[in-house]
Amino acid sequence: MALTPEQRQVIEHPGGHARVSAAAGSGKTATLVARVVELLRRGADSARIRVLMFNRSAREDFERRLAVAIREAGCQARVSVQTFHSAGYRLLQRLEAEGVVPRRRLESADWVARKLARTALEAALENRDEAEAVEDEAVDAFLAFVDVVKADTREAAVIHAEAPRLLGAALPGHYLEAFRRFEALRDDQNVRLLNDLIHEPVQALLADDALARRFRNHFDHVIIDEYQDVNEAQQQLIRCIAGDRAAVMVVGDPDQCVYQWRGARPEYIVRRFDEDFPGAASYTLPHTFRFGHAVALLGNHTVVRNRQRDGKLCLAAPRNPATEVRRCTDSDPELYRRILAEHRATGGRLSDVAVLVRLYSLAAPLELELLEAGVPLRLEGRAGLFQRREVRALLGYLRHAAGLLRDPLPDGAGPAELLTEMLMLPVAGLRRPEAQAVAQGYADARLPLIRSLSRAAEDLPRWKGRRLRQRVASLECLGAFHGDDPVADVLDEIVSELSLYEAIASGSPSAEAATDRSMMVDALRRFAASGGWGLTEFLERCDELIARSAQWQDAPPEQAVRVTSIHRAKGLEWPVVIVPGLAEGTFPYGVGEATAADLEAERRLFYVAVTRAQHRLYLVHPQDPRLERALRGGRAEQFDPHRAVASRFLAEAQPEHSIAAGAALHRGETPDKRLRTRVVGDYLAALQGHEVVTD
C-alpha cells in the first residue's frame, strides 16, 4: 500500500485522542483500516476496539477491507464495526432488559413514520383551513423537524425556537403540537422508529449519571469515520461509549459537512471534539488521489472563504489525472447532448457521467433534452419531471383543454390520477382522500368533467362545495381552447387563471420546496415554448417522452447517466461530473434571506459537488457579463452577487486562474506570477511542505 507521510503519522499515532482532518479523496478509509491493523499488531484486544460508521454500505465496505488487511497481516482477530444506529440499538436493548426504557417494536418502514406524521399533522390542524393541505411535501417537512429534534438532546420547543439559526428558516407554529401528538401516537402504538435508536438511550443515560457510568469504559479504542456529520445525539453516544478509558480517533472534513438538516455542524470537528476529548493530537491528510490541481484549486478558492473550518488546503497528489474543468452557459439547447457525445467519442460510457444538482428541478432541462435524444438517464432520490405532481396537474389541465382527459398516459396514469392532482393544485377545498374520491367518481361515471364535478360539489359541505365550483368555472374557461392553439398560450392561461405560482408558494411546506416545484412548472413551460407546438401536438410529444421514461424505469438500462443530489453524492466519485444551475438564488439557494451560516453551508455543497469529478468537470451557469468581467480581471471582489445572474461561487472559485495554474503544475512548471492569487500561493507552499512518497 502506498502511503503518504501524513497517513503514516495517523497509522502510527502513539496513543490518546486524535482528530484527523481528511481532504476529499484522501484515502482515509485505507488509513483507518491500517490504523486498526496497527493496533492489533501492538497487542490491542480486538474485543475492546469499536469502529463507528454512518451507514450500512460504509460499514460493509470497511468490514470487507479490514478483513482482508487483518488476514494479510497474519492476525487472528475480529473487530466490531457498527453504524451509529446499530450501536444505539444494542445499547437500547440492554436498557430494555434492565427495565430502564419500555420494550417497543422497531418499525423501520418509511410508511409507518409517514402515517404517524400525517395523522399528527391533521390533528394539530384540525380546526384550521390548512388541514386541507397535508400533502406529501408537508409530511416530509414535518418529519425533517422530527429528525432534527431526535438528533439533539434538547426539548422540541427549543429546537423549534432556534430553527432560523439551525435550519435557516422559521418553522410553522403547529409543528410543536403536531410533535406532541406524534410522540403520543408512537407511545400508544408502542412503536420505536429509526431516529429513536440513538436519541432514546442517550436521553436515558443523560438523565441518570449512575446508570451512564455502568455503560462507560468498556473499550480501549473508538474510531469514528465521517465525523463532520455527527449531531449532538451522536456526540453524546460517542462520549458514553468512550467514557474516560477509550482513546478516541475521529476522521472527517469540516469542508464536507453538508447534513445540517440532520443536526450536523462543522463545529463538532473544528471545536467540540477538543472540548469533549481534551489533549487530542491533530493530523491532516491533505492529499487527494481523485482529481488534479485545477479542481483542487477551484475547491480551495471557494471554501477558504468559510470561517467554520480548520484551514486545511486540499492538495492534488503528483500522479493524479489532469482533471479538465469547463464552464458552459445554459443557453445551448443541445449542451448535454454535446457533452455526452464528446465523452462517448473517446470511448467513455454513460455510466461514467453524474449530474449533481442542488435542487432536483435544476435537472429538468437536462432530463427533457436527454429524453428527446433517447439517451438513458437514471434519476435517484426523486421522481422524474413527468411523474412530479405539479407537472401531472398541468398535464391534466392541458388534456382537459384538448378534450383528452379520459385517455390514460403511456405510463398507466388514468383520468382519476390526473384529476386528483388538478384538484390539489391549487387545492380545491379538498383533502387528498376527498379529491381522490371525487376524481374516481368522474372516472367511473363517464359523465362530462364539468357535470361530474358540479354534482360532487352538491354533496360536499358548503364551503368545500363553493371552492370546487370555483374550480369548475376555471375548467370551463379552459374548455374554450382548441387542439391547434399554441400550447404556450394555453399554459399561460392555466397559470394565470389558477394563480398557480401563488398556490404553490402558499401550499408548500418550505420556501425551498416552493422554489423546486415552481421551477418544475417553469421547465415544462420553457419546453412547450421551445417547440412552437400546438396543444394536441405537444401532448402527443409528451406522451412519447413519458413512454420512454416509463420504459427506462421498468427496465433500467445498464448504461445510463446518473442524476442525483449533491447531498446523496457525498463520498462518491465519477469520471465526469456536471453541475447545472449555478445561478444566484438557486445555488447558492435563497441568497436574499440567507445568513452567513447559510452561505457557508451552500459553499460546502459546491465544494462537495466539484470534488466528485475525476477526469472532467462541467460547471453550467446562465450568461452573465458581470461574471465574465470579474473573471477577466482575476478579482472575485469585483463581482457583485446582488446584481448578478450567475452564481457567486463561480467568481469565488477563480476558474480561469485555477485551470491555468493547475495546467502549469501538471506540466511540472511553476505558475506564472499573474496567476498567483493568495490561494495559489498558499497551495504552492503547501505542495512543497507536504511531500508524497510511496513504499
pLDDT of residue 127: 66
CATH topology of domain 5-89+200-285: Rossmann fold (3.40.50)
Residue partners of 358: CB distance under 8 A and separation at least 6 = 565, 566, 581, 586, 587, 589, 602, 605
Residue range 597-609: mean pLDDT, rounded: 95
Confidence of residue 133 (pLDDT cuts 50, 70, 90): low
Indicate the annotated binding residues for ATP.
22-29
Residue range 407-430: mean pLDDT, rounded: 94
pTM exceeds cut of 0.85: yes
Residue range 171-176: mean pLDDT, rounded: 91
pLDDT of residue 130: 43
Identify the weakest region by mean pLDDT among 267-281, 384-398, 624-638.
624-638
Please check the confidence at residue 100 and state whether its pLDDT lies above 70: yes
pLDDT of residue 506: 85
Confidence of residue 692 (pLDDT cuts 50, 70, 90): low
Confidence of residue 554 (pLDDT cuts 50, 70, 90): confident
Pick the CATH number of 385-553 from 3.30.1330.40, 3.10.20.590, 1.10.3720.10, 1.10.486.10: 1.10.486.10
Residue range 652-658: mean pLDDT, rounded: 94
572 contacts 612 by C-beta, under 8 angstroms: yes
- 294-361+561-689 is a CATH 3.90.1150.10 domain: no
Give tens-digit pLDDT for 294-329: 999 999 999 999 999 999 999 999 989 899 999 999
Indicate the annotated binding residues.
22-29
pLDDT of residue 596: 86
Residue of higher predicted confidence among 578 and 640: 578
pLDDT of residue 435: 94
Confidence of residue 636 (pLDDT cuts 50, 70, 90): confident
What is the three-class DSSP state of 384?
Answer: coil
Please check the confidence at residue 131 and state whether its pLDDT lies above 50: no
64 contacts 41 by C-beta, under 8 angstroms: no
What SS3 string covers 127-190? CCHHHHHCCHHHHHHHHHHHHHHHCCCCCHHHHHHCHHHHHCCCCCCCHHHHHHHHHHHHHHCC
Give tens-digit pLDDT for 342-353: 999 999 999 999
Find the angle CA(418)-CA(368)-CA(536) to the nearest 5 degrees.
50
Please check the confidence at residue 126 and state whether its pLDDT lies above 90: no
Same fold, 5-89+200-285 and 385-553: no
Domain boundaries, the chain: 5-89+200-285, 109-193, 294-361+561-689, 385-553
Angle between helices 232-242 and 196-206 in degrees, nearest 10 = 60
Please check the confidence at residue 694 and state whether its pLDDT lies above 80: no
pLDDT of residue 629: 87
**How far apart (Å, rounded) are the C-alpha atoms in residues 547 and 1?**
49
- Compute the CA torsion angle 331, 334, 335, 341 (nearest 10 deg): -170
pLDDT of residue 354: 97
- Compute the CA torsion angle 662, 666, 668, 673 (nearest 10 deg): -10
Please check the confidence at residue 43 and state whether its pLDDT lies above 70: yes
Share of the chain above pLDDT 70, in %: 97
Identify the weakest region by mean pLDDT among 128-132, 252-256, 364-368, 372-376.
128-132
Please check the confidence at residue 621 and state whether its pLDDT lies above 50: yes
What is the three-class DSSP state of 138?
Answer: helix
Residue of higher predicted confidence among 633 and 212: 212
pLDDT of residue 639: 85
388 contacts 135 by C-beta, under 8 angstroms: no
Burial class (CB in 10 A: 0-12, 13-18, 19+), 604: buried
Give tens-digit pLDDT for 204-243: 999 999 999 998 889 999 999 999 999 999 999 999 999 9
Cα–Cα distances in Å, from 687 out to 469, 613, 627? 71, 21, 30
pLDDT of residue 292: 97
What is the three-class DSSP state of 516?
Answer: helix
* Average pLDDT in the chain: 92
Confidence of residue 274 (pLDDT cuts 50, 70, 90): very high
Please check the confidence at residue 429 and state whether its pLDDT lies above 90: no
Tell me which residue has cell 390520477.
Answer: 417
Residue type, 130: E
Please check the confidence at residue 446 and state whether its pLDDT lies above 80: yes
pLDDT of residue 695: 41
Identify the weakest region by mean pLDDT among 27-36, 256-265, 501-510, 632-641.
632-641
